[in-house]
Amino acid sequence: MKAYVETVESPAGPLAFAVDERGALILLKFSEGEYERTIEQDLESEGFEVGRDWGRTARAREELLEYRAGERRTFDLPLAFVGSEWQQAVWRALTRIPFGETRSYAEVAAMAGRKGAARAVGRANSTNRLALVVPCHRVIGADGSLTGFAGGVHLKTRLLDHETRVLAGVVKQ
């Protein structure tokens, strides 16, 4: 298995991403995130041979940069979900949260077909490998508080602030 890695600027700082041989997005990591390993280390530990190929990463790069510029609100690139049926149902529900809006964990549970499974949504969110594109940053606590984000709540704040600025017509690049 091969994975192709690249880094682009995002509203939350440098963002490393990887695509597979088909160009499907398989992993995203914010450089300023609180992670134990690099994206390359994660991929290699999963058996991927890591390389660079600007052609294979072009579509993901373009869509991520359009998001940063405020020109894209949804993503169209192919996604490689690896997880249980429940995790995938949650991740698909996340992609339906509109740009610039938030939903509680309970609301996402209902969207995924398991009303009352808010904690299970939290667990599924914590395993989301495609943060930003599968927008787990748009999920908040029932009281409106910003809770958990794999790379750190500071990154979640930056992404939500970016979307607010885009909707207000003010984007800082």
Q: How far apart are CA 163 and CA 144, in angstroms?
A: 17
List, in order of start, the domains of the chain with CATH numbers: 2-68 (3.30.160), 85-168 (1.10.10.10)
Burial of 47 (0-12, 13-18, 19+ CB in 10 A): exposed
- Report which of residues 50 and 156 the model is more confident about: 50
DSSP reduced 3-state for 141: coil
Amino acid (one-letter) located at 31: S
The average confidence (pLDDT) of the chain is: 92
What is the average per-residue pLDDT within 61-77? 96
Q: Which of 79, 93, 136, 166 is catalytic?
A: 136
Q: How many residues does the chain have?
A: 173
The answer to whether residue 75 is catalytic is: no
Amino acid symbol at 148: G
Average pLDDT on 106-122 reads 93
pLDDT digits (tens, 9 = 90+) for 139-164: 998 888 888 777 788 888 999 999 99
